[in-house]
Amino acid sequence: MTIRYPNGKLYSPNPTVQKTAKKGKDKDYSFSNRGKTLEDEINEANDYYVKRRLAIIHKKPVPVQIVKVEYPSRSAAVIREAYFRTPSTTDYNGVWNGHYIDFDAKETASKSSFPLKNIHVHQMTHMQQVTEQNGVAFIIVRFSAFERYFIVPYDVLQKAWLAMENGERKSIPFSTIEKEAFEIPTSYYPRIDYLPIIQQLIEAKSHGSESEEIVE
């Protein structure tokens, strides 16, 4: 099936997103989520939160305009060509503990940095608008080489993005991620319980605002 963006450009999945299924004796049975994508793991966590009434966070539907359908048989239809009606913003949004939550999921095989090419301009604009309305905007990054997960706040992304626009590096070093982002520890179920880490992010943001007021 062919899918195109509103400008007619062909859509191609992010090449850095990989499944990490393990086979045979090397398979680790300690976690039920092994071999799943980051999206699978976030969806599992969101289902867990909704069922326990902890938060309401869902993956955003992406509107698609179907333009070509074939019918190989009376009982089957195959979509051959479609377009995204509008550019996507971020993957997930919802409400938790009175906070509006809005974030994207990114996965990279790099061991040294997070490439900023994985983020689009309209996504940065969207996260900025969310932040201006006192929402909580960030990305969840999975470094598949290490099986480590981080919540990277919008302000960290913005700083790196502005540096890139000024001719500096086009990625965020892994050392910076470790220092300035918030790591999500893995567990049994859900594998990535990210709500407590969002709490850390909100508290850090609140303390930062208080410090700025004192300086002023």
pLDDT at 205: 84
Q: Looking at residue 100, which CATH number applies to its domain? A: 3.40.1350.10
- Does residue 204 belong to any structural domain of this protein? yes
- Does residue 18 belong to any structural domain of this protein? no
Whether 186 has a pLDDT exceeding 50, the answer reads yes
Q: Is 15 helix (H, G, I), strand (E, B) or coil?
A: coil
> pLDDT tens-digit profile of 116-137?
999 999 999 999 999 999 999 9
What domain range includes position 181? Answer: 38-61+87-215
153 DSSP β-pair partners:
138
Q: Are 46 and 96 in contact (CB under 8 A)?
A: no
> pLDDT tens-digit profile of 2-44?
555 554 555 555 444 333 333 333 334 334 445 679 999 999 9
- Does residue 161 belong to any structural domain of this protein? yes
pTM: 0.73
pLDDT at 89: 81
- Does residue 7 belong to any structural domain of this protein? no
C-alpha closest to that of 194 among 52, 74, 32, 48: 48
Beta strand 2-4 with 76-84: parallel, antiparallel or unpaired? parallel
> pLDDT tens-digit profile of 101-113?
999 999 999 999 9
Counting the structural domains of the chain, the total is 1
The pLDDT > 70 percentage for the chain reads 69
- DSSP code, position 18: -
Sign of the dihedral defined by the CA atoms of residues 74, 79, 80, 82, in that order:
positive
- Does residue 107 belong to any structural domain of this protein? yes
What span, in angstroms and rounded, lies between the C-alpha atoms of 177 and 156? 9
C-alpha closest to that of 183 among 117, 174, 113: 174
Residue type, 132: E
Q: Are 16 and 9 in contact (CB under 8 A)?
A: no
pLDDT at 182: 98
Give 167's pLDDT tier (boundaries 50, 70, 90).
Answer: very high
Residue with tokens 């939550």: 101
- Does residue 30 belong to any structural domain of this protein? no
C-alpha closest to that of 19 among 41, 2, 1: 41
- Does residue 1 belong to any structural domain of this protein? no
- Does residue 4 belong to any structural domain of this protein? no
Phi and psi (nearest 5°) for 105? -110, 125
Higher pLDDT, 206 or 30: 206
The chain-wide mean pLDDT, for the chain, equals 81
